Amino acid sequence: MNIELSHLPLREQKPRTKGLTVLEDTGESLLAVEQQLQTASHCIDFVRFTPQSFVSQQSIQQRIQLYTSHAITPFVSGLLFEAAYLRSSVDQYLQTLQSLGITCIEISDGTIEIPFTEKAQIIQQCSTKFDVIAKIGAAKKEYKFHTDNWRLYIDSALQSGAKHIMIEGGEAGASQLINGTLQINEILAHGISKYAPAESLIWEAPEIAQQLWLLNQHGSTVNIAGIQSHKILETETVRQGLSIHTLLQYLPPQLSVGKVREFDTIYNFDWQI
């Protein structure tokens, strides 16, 4: 940060092991990517290439080079893994990722059903060639995981060699983690946080309200994914306690007592114009 302030959370320098932020690449121009990295690369640890990244006319290889030159690890949305699985072309998909120089992979089954043991075998197979992010949870709220299944899937993924567990956030509240009002399902989140080490969990939480809840519960070192490019600096500001929502979070009481606005003071002025 370009200004010295006390009582801010300690932020690890890259490469970080905690407090990870995952950017969503949605096919923006290479110029736009380059401009963003000039100002915010220090805030980004991973970038997830969405299907739009591959539909874009601009070279995916150039995108990869841009991000890796700023110490940002690229991986591809698990949705494309699911598309390959449906076509029985997972091996070809893995070879393509390797040919692109991608060393991290997301394995998900948020929109399709992959048998439990088969998903574990795929994770184990991939973990010999990639750092695996195992995504857990359904992308549609109609399909519910039983509470015990969350623990079973998380344990299985970690034992099969996954480096990180990403908790499915869905889109527009279409998952169990995030409800229809875009709020975190607190009971579920509390349960999940007991099933894996905090540094291995990555939470999909694209909205500020969701990030605030996670930061309040787990501190500034919580790992957050699903961040759009225009919100990267906003998320980092929230994480560092410099937003209107987190300004008091890391301050000792003696610095904030009597200084917190609780109501508007009404002033009586006799204006003379």
pLDDT, tens digit, for every residue of 171-189? 645 567 776 667 788 888 8
pLDDT the model gives residue 6: 77
- Tell me which of 59 and 6 has the higher pLDDT: 59
Instruction: Determine the average pLDDT of the residues in 23-49.
Output: 96
pLDDT the model gives residue 160: 97
Q: 40: left (phi > 0), else alpha (psi -120 to 50), else beta?
A: alpha
The CA distance from 123 to 106, in Å, is: 9
Half-sphere exposure of 199 (CA within 13 A, CB side): 5
- Please report, in angstroms and rounded to a whole number, the separation of the first and last CA atoms in the chain: 44
pLDDT, tens digit, for every residue of 101-127? 999 999 999 888 899 999 999 999 999
CB under 8 Å to 259, separation ≥6 — which residues? none
Residue 18: in which H helix or E strand, if any?
none
74 contacts 104 by C-beta, under 8 angstroms: yes
For 151-156, which contacts have Cβ atoms below 8 Å and span 24 or more sequence positions? 151/191, 151/195, 152/116, 153/116, 154/192, 154/195, 154/196, 155/195, 156/116, 156/119, 156/120
Q: Which two tokens stand for residue 265?
A: 């003071």
Q: 253: left (phi > 0), else alpha (psi -120 to 50), else beta?
A: alpha
The CA distance from 168 to 138, in Å, is: 7
The reported pTM is 0.88
**Which structural domains are found in the chain, ordered by start?**
21-256 (3.20.20.70)
- Tell me which of 190 and 70 has the higher pLDDT: 70
Q: Which two tokens stand for residue 249?
A: 């979070």
pLDDT the model gives residue 204: 93
